[in-house]
Amino acid sequence: MDAGVASGLLHLAATDSAVPSRLLSPDAASKRPSAPGGCGGAGPSAASPLLPDALWHRLRRVSLHPTPRRSQRHITPFFLGLLALAAAAWAAPQAPSPAGKPAQPAAIGCVDCHLALDDARITPPAKLFADDIHARAGFTCAFCHGGDASAQDQEVAHDKKKGFIGKPAPRDIPALCGKCHSDAATMKQFNPSLRVDQVSEYRTSGHGKMLAKGDTRVAQCASCHGAHGIQHVKDSRSPVSPRRVAETCNGCHGNASLMADYKLPADVYAKWKKSVHYQVRVEKGDLSAPTCNSCHGNHGAAPPEVGSVANVCGTCHTVFADKFRLSPHWEPFKEMNLPGCVTCHENHEIVRPTEAFLAEGDQGKCSSCHEASSAGGKAAAAMHTDLVALSGEIRAARVKVERAAEAGMEVSRIQFELSKADDALTTARTDIHRFQAAAVHATASGGLAVAREASKAADKALAERDYRRKGLFVSLAVILAAIVALTLKIRDLKTGQPPPPVN
Amino acid sequence: MAGLKSWTQERLGWDELAHLVQKKEVPIHRWTIFYYLGGMALFLFTVQVATGILLLLYYRPSSAEAFESVQYMMADVPFGWLIRSIHSWGANLFVGVVFLHMISVFFLKAYRPPREATWITGAVLLFLAMGFGFSGYLLPWNTLAYFATKVGTDVPAQIPGIGHLLSRILRGGSDVTGATLSRFYGIHVAILPAITTVFLGVHLVLVQRHGMSVPPGIERQGKPRTMRFVPDFLLRDMVGWLVAVALLAALAAFLPWELGVKADPFAPAPAGIRPEWYFLWMFQGLKYLPAKIAGIPGETLGVFFLGGLALVLAILPLLDRKRSRLWNAAAVVVLIGAALLTVLSLLPRKSMP
């Protein structure tokens, strides 16, 4: 037992119940296991047999000894003993268990039997549960599966009269998990910041609705979080951890035959991998870029409604969404039932937008609805011209500034000025979403003037570089001439001959 | 004119000085070229003093303005870029030449009696040159210099007992701040120049007093031929100085000394922090030391070792009285070790897994 376990033990001894009595079946709560081990005995942490033992006692106290006076008689000497054990554990040198594995309790319990049976169906869950977040919090098999965890006989342990439910049916899983996760009073004892509306949300999801109708192929809690090796969602081992959630969704949503039954595309993951969001999130490692649940929600997963697309995109792209709401497209899109942002930017395969979106041609977005000769087509062309001019000027200026910087010129102020032109380009790109060419022109013109100034300053810096180099060559020529003159003078000296006599 | 000459002669005694200069001779032998290193070091020091004074006209020694003032010099002050680059490049050339001067003096055994004091003042001048480099490195207040100074000023803290006090005195507080910058500025432009003036004066007087040393091997072959210091040696010296000026000008024009990014004490330390090249071997050596050696912190032992090395270097003439060959062997080992550590510190680092 390590010091951490000992301190945890002291903590348990000092605080009130961590697991409420209502979570215990009467049988589990009333029986003290004959020896530590298993679900009701040694409990979740086989490496720390004292922890579940203490927990068991505390649970027992809560359920069987409601009056403090009676419990105190038993608990006081017991906790004194625990404190002594904790102190001994703190001070004792740590002895590694054989082969580096946690020491296994000797007694029989759910885990012991299920491990000993070495059955491909029932042994892996017992192994996985040892490192489950619930096991670490002190929960045991019986909390979900019921039965008599302390029994050494399978028939007794699996007695349905004792609440044994075996493997929960998929349809029952949300309610089973919700037993704790929907209970604020319970959850705040373990993770006060965790929400408790996951099951309610789930019932509003596509998955939840279909499960309610009896379709057990849809995702429920265990489909995404796992059943026995559950980890915190921020733990990289969790299938729904930020870096893995897309692959987990794709487990079903990339299954063409399964998706065909629901008339859903099976290429959404492949499309997302081509998106700018994937590039930023996965290739650049910026986890603020969206993955599946960022737009679809996690427990309430469902495609955003047509009318709410702009709201969903607008949670990150706020400026774009605000300007789009002010645009002449806002009302017609609603009337035409067009899905806002998705109309031009796609939903999963969202590529980095370019000025070409505004132009005629394969990539043109405006031209797919507006004729070139129409007012909309002309406005798109004007915006395209402004943006191309500005981005071209910025590019040209930046090339010069970089050349000057490589030559060692001090260009930080020019770079700062150029960043203002970058800002203007970004603003002009957001202005496009108002679809008012005059606004884009005003912003782009301001940026263009700044970029031209930066370009001139970069030209000046390059001219200065050339001036320095010319100056250097002139100086070198003068120095060389001086060296030649000195050398000639030295040759005239009769070095090594005795110096003239000094008076 | 004759009146003015006689007037100054009476008051300044030019004739005696002229007589000394005319009398001064330089031996001619196969190692004569090493005599030029002293003059080169003195010339580069003069360049540093001149450019340093010009930089003082614009430099503002505070954490809020130091970086901007150097930036202003580099971008707006006419020839500010040239002065600053020459000062930075010149500092490196100066330290390099001083190192070479000392190495040549060591192997030519020029510290033999009666020149012990010349060597000792020279060693102190080497330490002062390194002090100039260390204090000047921080003055532009850029990121690399800031973090390198943090590491550098941590080194004295390894000395048991007074280490932390020394580090605090050096920094002007518990951390590198604007107070450190003011302090380093004062050290760089006032304290070190004042001490250097004294030691350089003594060093030069002693060089004139004892004349050029002839290496023992040459001496055994008899008295070598000589050349007059003025003009024979001086003109040759001047050729070297002109080459140095040309080199500095070319470096300033083609590779202006980079200014980098302004120091941000709250930013994480960037990768690739390293001090000036002549401190790299110490920096790398301290990194290789284990945390504990025989129960004593490795870095503490390292600092004592370096301090011991400096002391041995300074008082070498007093230790090497019998001119044992072992000193040459030890010097070769130290030089190869320092060169190896410098190369190792310049190799690209493996990225962390």
Kindly write down the DSSP assignment for every residue of A176-235, as one continuous string: HHHHHHT-HHHHTTT-TTS-S-HHHHHHHSHHHHHHHTT-TTS--HHHHH-SSS---TTS
Q: Hey, is the C-beta of A496 within 8 angstroms of any chain B C-beta?
A: yes
Closest to A33 in 3D by CA, of A19, A53, A14: A53
* CA pair distance A211, A200, nearest whole angstrom: 13
In terms of pLDDT, which residue wins out, B99 or A21? Answer: B99
Distance (Å) from the C-alpha of residue A231 to the closest C-alpha of chain B?
25
Is omega for the bond preceding B114 within 30 degrees of 0, making it cis? yes
Q: Say whether A490 and B254 touch across the interface (CB within 8 A).
A: no
Is omega for the bond preceding B231 within 30 degrees of 0, making it cis? yes
* Other residues' Cβ atoms within 10 Å of the Cβ of residue A388: 16
* Nearest CB to B239 within list A408, A471, A486: A486
B121-139 confidence digits (pLDDT tens)? 999 999 999 999 999 999 9
* CA pair distance B36, B20, nearest whole angstrom: 19
**Is B34 domain-assigned?**
yes
Which residue type occupies B198? V
Contact status, residue A149 vs residue A157, Cβ threshold 8 Å: yes
* CA pair distance B294, B292, nearest whole angstrom: 6
Dihedral, CA atoms, B62, B68, B72, B75, nearest 10 degrees? Answer: 150
**Is B20 domain-assigned?**
no
Contact status, residue A469 vs residue A440, Cβ threshold 8 Å: no
Q: Is B225 helix (H, G, I), strand (E, B) or coil?
A: strand
* Mean pLDDT, all residues of chain A: 79
Q: Hey, is the C-beta of A106 within 8 angstroms of any chain B C-beta?
A: no
pLDDT band at residue B351 under the 50/70/90 scheme: very low
Hey, which residues 48-77 in chain B have their CB within 8 Å of chain A?
Answer: 71, 74-75
Q: Classify each residue of B131-169 as buried b or exposed e, where b means 16 or more C-beta atoms within 10 Å of its C-beta.
A: bbbbbbbbbbbbbbbbbbbbbbbbbbbbbeeebeebbee
Contact status, residue B156 vs residue B170, Cβ threshold 8 Å: yes
Q: Is B25 helix (H, G, I), strand (E, B) or coil?
A: strand
**Is B37 domain-assigned?**
yes
DSSP state at residue A501: P
* CA pair distance B150, B171, nearest whole angstrom: 9
Contact status, residue B91 vs residue B132, Cβ threshold 8 Å: yes
Q: For residue B239, give the chain A residue with the closest CA.
A: A483
**Is B180 domain-assigned?**
yes
The residue behind tokens 């203002």 is A420
Mean of the pLDDT values across residues B311-320? 94
Interface test with B, best of A472, A473, A480, A484 (most B CBs within 10 A): A472
For residue A104, pLDDT over 80 is answered with no
The residue behind tokens 């770079």 is A415
For the CA atoms of chain A, what is the radius of gyration?
37
Phi, psi angles (nearest 5°) of residue A329: -85, -20
Q: For residue A461, give the chain B residue with the closest CA.
A: B75
* CA pair distance B101, B99, nearest whole angstrom: 5
Q: What is the pLDDT of residue A499?
A: 54
Give B-chain residues touching A469 at CB under 8 angstroms.
253-254
Strand partners, B296: B293
Phi, psi angles (nearest 5°) of residue B297: -55, 130
Q: Hey, is the C-beta of A331 within 8 angstroms of any chain B C-beta?
A: no
Question: Where is average pLDDT lowest: A103-107, A152-156, A217-221, A272-276?
Answer: A103-107
Q: Hey, is the C-beta of B228 within 8 angstroms of any chain A C-beta?
A: yes
**Which residues have CB under 8 Å from B198's CB, separation 6+?**
none
Q: Hey, is the C-beta of A93 within 8 angstroms of any chain B C-beta?
A: no
Q: What is the pLDDT of residue A502?
A: 52
Mean of the pLDDT values across residues B219-230? 90
Mean of the pLDDT values across residues A121-126? 88
For residue B91, pLDDT over 90 is answered with yes
Q: For residue A485, give the chain B residue with the closest CA.
A: B239
Q: Where in the sequence is the domain holding B244, given as residue range(s)?
A: 27-269
**How long a stretch of residues is chain A?**
503
* CA pair distance B282, B342, nearest whole angstrom: 8
DSSP state at residue B173: S
A443-491 confidence digits (pLDDT tens)? 999 999 999 999 999 999 999 999 999 999 999 999 999 999 999 999 9
Q: Hey, is the C-beta of B227 within 8 angstroms of any chain A C-beta?
A: yes
In this structure, what token pair is assigned to residue B342? 């410098």
* Other residues' Cβ atoms within 10 Å of the Cβ of residue A399: 12
Hey, which residues 111-140 in chain B have their CB within 8 Å of chain A?
Answer: none
Closest to B166 in 3D by CA, of B182, B183, B178: B183
**Is B211 domain-assigned?**
yes
Secondary structure element (H or E) that encloses residue B85, with its range: helix B80-107
In this structure, what token pair is assigned to residue A287? 């986890």
Mean of the pLDDT values across residues B113-128? 96
Phi, psi angles (nearest 5°) of residue B296: -105, 135
Closest to A404 in 3D by CA, of A472, A453, A459, A470: A459
**Residue B58's CATH number:** 1.20.810.10
Q: Hey, is the C-beta of A471 within 8 angstroms of any chain B C-beta?
A: yes
Contact status, residue B281 vs residue B342, Cβ threshold 8 Å: yes
Angle ∠(B146,B148,B152) on CA atoms, nearest 5:
115
Q: Hey, is the C-beta of B250 within 8 angstroms of any chain A C-beta?
A: yes
* Mean pLDDT, all residues of chain B: 92
Q: What is the pLDDT of residue B304?
A: 93
For the CA atoms of chain B, what is the radius of gyration?
23
* Nearest CB to B245 within list A413, A479, A486: A479
* CA pair distance A141, A38, nearest whole angstrom: 9
Q: What is the pLDDT of residue A99?
A: 35
For residue A10, pLDDT over 70 is answered with no
Angle ∠(A415,A419,A424) on CA atoms, nearest 5:
150
Percent of chain A with pLDDT over 90: 51
Q: Say whether B246 and A475 touch across the interface (CB within 8 A).
A: yes
Contact status, residue B133 vs residue B251, Cβ threshold 8 Å: no
Q: Say whether A476 and B75 touch across the interface (CB within 8 A).
A: no
pLDDT band at residue A30 under the 50/70/90 scheme: very low
Contact status, residue A41 vs residue A112, Cβ threshold 8 Å: no
Give B-chain residues touching A483 at CB under 8 angstroms.
239, 242-243
Distance (Å) from the C-alpha of residue B289 to the closest C-alpha of chain A?
30
Mean of the pLDDT values across residues A282-307? 85
In terms of pLDDT, which residue wins out, A56 or B24? Answer: B24
* CA pair distance B34, A459, nearest whole angstrom: 46
Q: For residue B75, give the chain A residue with the closest CA.
A: A410
Q: What is the pLDDT of residue A139?
A: 87
* Other residues' Cβ atoms within 10 Å of the Cβ of residue A231: 18
For residue B120, pLDDT over 70 is answered with yes
Q: Classify each residue of A122-149 as buried b or exposed e, where b means 16 or more C-beta atoms within 10 Å of its C-beta.
A: ebebbeebbebbbbeebbbbbbbbbbbb
Q: Say whether B232 and A479 touch across the interface (CB within 8 A).
A: no
Q: Hey, is the C-beta of A470 within 8 angstroms of any chain B C-beta?
A: no
**Is B161 domain-assigned?**
yes
Dihedral, CA atoms, A398, A399, A404, A410, nearest 10 degrees? Answer: 10
Taking CA atoms, A135 is separated from A61, A132, A138, A144, in Å, by 21, 5, 5, 12
Total domains, chain B: 1
Interface test with A, best of B238, B247, B255 (most A CBs within 10 A): B238
* CA pair distance B3, A492, nearest whole angstrom: 34
* Nearest CB to A412 within list B71, B242, B246: B71
A351-378 confidence digits (pLDDT tens)? 999 999 999 888 899 998 899 999 999 9
Strand partners, B293: B296
**Is B135 domain-assigned?**
yes
Closest to A198 in 3D by CA, of A295, A301, A292, A288: A301
* Nearest CB to A499 within list B228, B246, B258: B228
Torsion-angle region of B161 (φ positive above 0: left; ψ -120 to 50: alpha; else: beta): left
Q: Say whether B227 and A496 touch across the interface (CB within 8 A).
A: yes
**Is B4 domain-assigned?**
no
In terms of pLDDT, which residue wins out, B62 or A17? Answer: B62
